[in-house]
Amino acid sequence: MIRISIDAMGGDFGPETVLAGAAIALERHPDIRFVIYGLAEQVEPVLARHPKLQAASTFHASEIAIRMDEKPSQALRNGRGKSSMWQAIEAVRDGAADVCVSAGNTGALMAMSKFCLRMMANVERPAIAAIWPTLRGESIVLDVGATIGANAQQLVDYSVMGAGMARALFEIKRPTVGLLNVGVEEVKGLDEIREAGQILRDVPLAGLEYSGFVEGNDIGKGTVDVVVTEGFSGNIALKTAEGTARQMADLLRAAMSRTLMAKIGYLFAKGAFDRVREKMDPRKVNGGVFLGLNGVVIKSHGGADAEGFAAALEVAYDMVRNELLKKISADLSQFHESRPLAATVEGDAEIEDQQ
Amino acid sequence: MIRISIDAMGGDFGPETVLAGAAIALERHPDIRFVIYGLAEQVEPVLARHPKLQAASTFHASEIAIRMDEKPSQALRNGRGKSSMWQAIEAVRDGAADVCVSAGNTGALMAMSKFCLRMMANVERPAIAAIWPTLRGESIVLDVGATIGANAQQLVDYSVMGAGMARALFEIKRPTVGLLNVGVEEVKGLDEIREAGQILRDVPLAGLEYSGFVEGNDIGKGTVDVVVTEGFSGNIALKTAEGTARQMADLLRAAMSRTLMAKIGYLFAKGAFDRVREKMDPRKVNGGVFLGLNGVVIKSHGGADAEGFAAALEVAYDMVRNELLKKISADLSQFHESRPLAATVEGDAEIEDQQ
C-alpha cells in the first residue's frame, strides 16, 4: 500500500481535474490510498461522483486554498497550518502519507515544503528535478528552478540526489551523470562546474557514474541519465525545450492543413503523429520532484489535465515503491563520510546574495 | 557592391564547402565581391572550378590554417598576422572588406576578432547573436556564448545591439526586446536582470521597445523580436532548442517508417514535412553574429554544408546593406549620452573572475 497525500485545490482547474486524475491513477495502481485535503464544499460533491476513489481515500476539510498567484511568503503566512497545501505536506512529515502531490503554486509549495519538512541531513538547498523525454527514453534534469546559482558542493549534492532518483524511477544500477556546461571553446565554463566535476571524479560513488560535461543538445539526445545544473539555466533549458516542442507541433499542424495532399497524408499518418506527440507530451512526463527535503513532494503542472495529474501521481508512486528517499540519504552520507569537509563553503554567502 | 572577406579554411569540410556556399550566395546577390583567404594549394584548384565566383573574387594566399580544435590563445599566438582567419578579419579592419565570414573555430575567431578589431566605443564586452526561428518568423537571441555572466549595463548594451541587428535584418522600426528570466515565483530572478529592466524602462530609446521579462518558452513563440541574456544561459538555451528540434525530427522519422499506413501518409504529406524541416533547419538560420566590435564578423556553423554557408553569407550581406554597425553605434552613443554613468561598474571585477 502506498499512501499519497493530495492538495485537491491546486492547479488551474481545481478539484474536478485533480480527483479525476487520482481516479485514473487508482485504476492503474489499486494499492494506492489517498489522503485528500481541500475545501469541503468543493471537494465533497466531486469525490461523491468517484465512488471507487472515495472508498480508497480519506478526506480532510481545510479552511483555506492557496491561490495560484499568491506570493510564497504570503501563502506561508496565511496558509500555514490551515491550507490544503500545507496540510498535504504535513501529512508526509507526520507519517500519515508517504509522498505529497500538488498542482498548486510552485513557489508556495516549495516555501511550505522547506518550512514544514526541513532540509535533509548533508543537503544545503533543495532542487526541483524534471523528468525529460529523450531519444533514448527519459532523463532527469535538475535543478529546474528551485534556487538560482549553486556552488560546487551543491552541484555534487544534486548529482547524488538525481542519481538516486534515476535509480528509483528507471531502475538502473549506476546512472550516468553529466554537468551541464557550455561548449564554446573560449568560454571555459564556470569555476564551480569545473570544481564539481573534479570532486565527482575524485570521490568514486557506488550509485553513479560521472560522465563529464554535457551541452544543451545532449539533454534531448539522452547522452546521460542525469543532467545537473543550477536553477536558472535549468529553468531556461526546460522552458526553451517546451517552447521548441510546441513550436514544431504548431508548425506541423499548420503545414498539415495547408494542402489537400498534406491533409490526406495526415489522415494516414495520424497514428504516427500521435505517437510522437505523446512522447513529447509534457503531460506524460509531468511532475517536478522536490529533492533534498525530509520527504518527497511532487509538483504537477498547474495546467495539467486529469491524465497529466495521474502521471504525476504515478511518479510519486514509483518514488515511494523504490524507496527514493532512503537511497538518496544513504548515498549522501556515504559521500559526506568519505569527504568530511565541503570544498567550497566560502562561496556560500556570495551566492545567497544573488537570490 | 558589398565586399565580404572569407576564411576559406574554416569549417568541418574546408574550402570545397565554403566556396560552393559562396557560389550559391553570388547567384542570389550578384553585387557581392569576395576577398578570399586560404592555403593556395587547397583553395586555388577549387576556385578554378567556380569560374563565376573566381571572377567576382580576389584570392590571397595565407601561410597557416587554424585548426578546429586549436585553443584560442594558441591560435592567436600561431595565427596572428599569417593565418587565413586572421587575414579575413584584418580585411575588415583595414577597409578591404565590409564584413567577415568564417566557419572556423569559434573560440579562435572571437579571440582574433577582439584582438584585431577592438571593442566598439561604449561597449565592454562582445556578444554572439543568433537568429532564431519562431512561430512568428525569426527573433534574435544574444549572448549565446561569447562571455559568461553579464552585469546590468552589459545586458542593456546587448539590448541596444540586438535591437540594431533586428532593425537591420528584419527591417522593423522599433523591435521589442525582452530580458530572459525564470518564471518560478519563489525565484525572483537575478539582481542584474532586474536592474537592467529598470534601466531599459527608465531610459526611453528610439530604437527599441522594452517588453519586460520573457521565459524560455517565449523564445520559440516569438513573443519579442530580441531576447537578451548572458552567454551561459543563452548557450544552454540555443543548444537545448537545437537538441529538441532534432529529437522531434528523429522521433517523427522513426514513427513515419513504422507502419505501412504511416509510410503512405508520409508520401502524401512530404511537402508539409519538408516545409517544417526547412523552417526549423539550423542551416537556414545559420550564422552567429559577433556584436560589439569595430566591424562585423559572422561565424557560420562548423558543420554547415554549402547551403548553410550561403545562408551565413546572406546574413552578412543584409547586415552591411542595412548599415548595422552605424545603427548600433548611433544607438549606443544616444544611450550613453542620456546616461553618462554606468549603473553597475563596481560589479565588473567580480564577473571577470568567473571567466
* Gap between the Cα atoms of B269 and B266, Å rounded: 5
pLDDT tens figures, A106-145: 889 999 999 999 999 889 899 999 999 898 889 999 999 8
- Give pLDDT, residue B282: 57
Chain B nearest-CA residue for A238 = B216
Q: State which residue of chain A sits closest to B257, comparing Cα positions.
A: A272
Residues A157 and A257 both lie in one domain: yes
pLDDT at B261: 76
Range of the domain at A16: 2-117
Q: Do A262 and B268 touch (CB under 8 A)?
A: yes
Q: Is A270 among the domain residues?
A: yes
Interface test with A, best of B139, B191, B215, B239 (most A CBs within 10 A): B239
CB contact under 8 A, A268 and B279: no
Q: Which amino acid is at B118?
A: R
Q: Quick check: A251 and B280 CB within 8 A?
A: yes
Sorting pLDDT into bands at 50, 70 and 90, what band is B188?
low
Check B187 against A231: CB less than 8 A apart.
yes
**Does residue A195 share a domain with residue A99?**
no
More confident residue, B4 or B352: B4
How many domains is chain B built from? 2
Residue in chain A closest to B107 (alpha carbons) equals A186
Which chain B positions have a beta carbon within 8 Å of A105's beta carbon?
A: 185
Could you give the C-alpha distances from A64 to A10, A40, A114, B106, B324, in angstroms and in order? Answer: 11, 10, 20, 56, 56
Q: Tell whether A289 is covered by a domain.
A: no
Question: Which of A341-345, B8-12, B33-37, B252-256 bottoms out in mean pLDDT, i.e. has the lowest?
Answer: A341-345
Q: Grid coordinates in use for A314?
A: 504515478
B85 to B37, B147, B325: CA distances (angstroms): 7, 21, 21
| Length of chain B measured in residues | 355
Cis peptide before A143 (omega within 30 of 0): yes
Per residue in A185-243, pLDDT (tens digit) is: 545 668 899 999 999 998 878 889 999 999 999 999 999 999 999 999 999 999 999 88
Residue that wins the pLDDT comparison between B276 and B293: B293
Chain A residues with CB inside 8 Å of B271's CB? 259, 261-262
Q: Which of B68, B87, B117 is the last residue of a domain?
A: B117
Q: What is the dihedral of CA A76, A71, A303, A289, to 10 degrees?
A: -50
- CB within 8 Å: A259 and B251: no
Chain A CB contacts of B265 below 8 Å: 264-270, 272
- Whether residue A194 lies inside any domain: the answer is yes
Whether the pLDDT of residue B344 is over 80: the answer is: no
For chain B, percent of residues with pLDDT exceeding 90: 61
Of A230, A158, A201, A203, nearest in space to A339 by CA: A203
Say if residue B80 is in the same domain as residue B136. Answer: no
Q: Is the peptide bond before B143 cis (omega within 30 degrees of 0)?
A: yes
pLDDT value at residue B353 = 31
Looking at CA atoms only, how far is residue B126 from chain A in angstroms? 12
A112 assigned to some structural domain: yes
Shortest distance between the Cα of A272 and any Cα of chain B, in A, equals: 5
C-alpha cell of residue A271: 497514428
Q: Which residues of A touch B344 (CB under 8 A)?
A: none
Task: Kindly report which listed range (B211-215, B243-247, B306-310) carries the lowest average pLDDT score.
Answer: B243-247
Q: Mean pLDDT lowest for which of A20-24, A72-76, B285-289?
A: B285-289
pLDDT tens readout for residues A145-176:
888 899 999 999 999 999 999 998 888 899 99
% of chain B with per-residue pLDDT over 70: 92
Question: Measured between CB atoms, which of A189, A239, A272 is closest to B258?
Answer: A272
Q: Which residue is closest to B146 within chain A, CA to CA?
A: A187
DSSP annotation of A83 reads: B
Mutation target for A interface from B244, B278, B301: give the one with most A CBs within 10 A.
B244
Out of A30-34, A228-232, A265-269, B216-220, which region has the weakest mean confidence (pLDDT)?
A265-269
ipTM exceeds 0.95, yes or no = no
pLDDT at A48: 96
Q: What is the pLDDT of residues A266-293, one digit of tens each?
A: 777 777 777 777 777 655 566 799 999 9
Residue A122's region, left for phi above 0, alpha for psi from -120 to 50, else beta, is: left
Contacts of B267 in chain A (CB under 8 A): 265
Nearest CA in chain B to A190: B354
Mutate to test the interface with A, among B66, B232, B354 (most CBs of A within 10 A): B232
- Check A269 against B270: CB less than 8 A apart: no
B181 and B266 fall within a common domain: yes
Last residue of a domain, which of B72, B96, B117?
B117
Residues A250-257: what's their mean pLDDT? 80
- Say whether B241 and A145 touch across the interface (CB within 8 A): no
pLDDT for B286: 66
Confidence of residue B284 (pLDDT cuts 50, 70, 90): low
Is there a single domain that holds both residue B203 and residue B341? Answer: yes
- Can you tell me the mean pLDDT for B291-315? 92
Model confidence at B342, pLDDT cuts 50, 70, 90, reads: very low
CB A212 within 8 A of CB A178: yes
pLDDT beyond 70 at B346: no
User: Is the confidence at residue B112, as pLDDT, over 70?
Assistant: yes
Q: Which of A182, A267, A272 sits opposite B232 (nearest CB)?
A: A182
C-alpha to C-alpha distance for B84 and B62, rounded to whole angstroms:
5
The pLDDT score that the predictor gives to residue A269 is 76
Residue B164 inside a domain? The answer is: yes
Kindly report which listed range (A21-25, B71-75, B245-249) carries the lowest average pLDDT score: B245-249
pLDDT over 50 (residue B348): no
Based on the fold, state whether residues B21 and B84 are members of the same structural domain. Answer: yes
Q: Which of B68, B224, B268, B270 to mutate to test the interface with A (most CBs of A within 10 A)?
A: B268
Q: Are residues A236 and A181 in the same domain?
A: yes
Residue B291 lies in a domain: no
Q: Per-residue pLDDT tens for A300-338? A: 988 889 998 999 999 999 999 988 888 888 888 887 777
Residue B133 shares a structural domain with residue B108: no
In a shared domain, residues B217 and B262: yes
Overall size of chain A counted in residues: 355
Size of interface A-B (CB pairs under 8 A): 277
Could you tell me which residues come within 8 angstroms of residue A353 by beta carbon, excluding any fewer than 6 positions away? none
Residues B219 and B242 in one domain: yes
User: Domain with A84 in it: what CATH number?
Assistant: 3.40.718.10
- Does B93 score more than 90 pLDDT? yes
Q: Which of B94, B117, B140 is the last residue of a domain?
A: B117
| Per-residue confidence (pLDDT) for residue A343, from 0 to 100 | 44
Whole-number pLDDT of residue B86:
98
**Is B106 part of a structural domain of the chain?**
yes
Question: B337: which residues sit within 8 A by CB, 6+ positions away?
Answer: none
Mark whether B52 and B92 lie in a shared domain. yes
| Selected residue of B69, B143, B248 to mutate for chain A interface (largest A Cβ count, 10 A) | B248
B276: confidence class by pLDDT, cuts 50, 70, 90 = confident
More confident residue, A323 or B118: B118
Q: Is residue B343 part of a domain?
A: yes
* pLDDT score recorded for residue A286: 66
Same domain, A101 and A136: no
Alpha helices in chain A (DSSP H): 15-28, 40-48, 51-55, 72-79, 84-93, 106-117, 152-170, 191-202, 216-221, 231-256, 260-280, 306-321, 324-338, 348-353
The mean pLDDT of A56-81, rounded to a whole number, is 94
Nearest CA in chain B to A233: B233
Instruction: Please give the Cα distance from B161 to A295 (Å, whole number).
Output: 48
